[in-house]
Amino acid sequence: MKEFVWNILEIQSQLEDIHSVWARLLGITEPQWLMLMAIMDLDEDMALRELTSPRSYGSTLRL
| Three-state secondary structure readout of the chain | CHHHHHHHHHHHHHHHHHHHHHHHHHCCCHHHHHHHHHHHHHHHHHHHHHHHCHHHHHHHCCC
> Residue 22: which pLDDT band, with cuts at 50, 70 and 90?
very high
Please state the domain count of the chain: 1
Q: What percent of the chain has pLDDT over 90?
A: 49
pTM: 0.57
> Is the Cβ–Cβ distance between 34 and 45 less than 8 Å?
no
Among 4, 40, 9, smallest CA distance to 22 is for 40
Give me the domain span that covers residue 45. 2-60
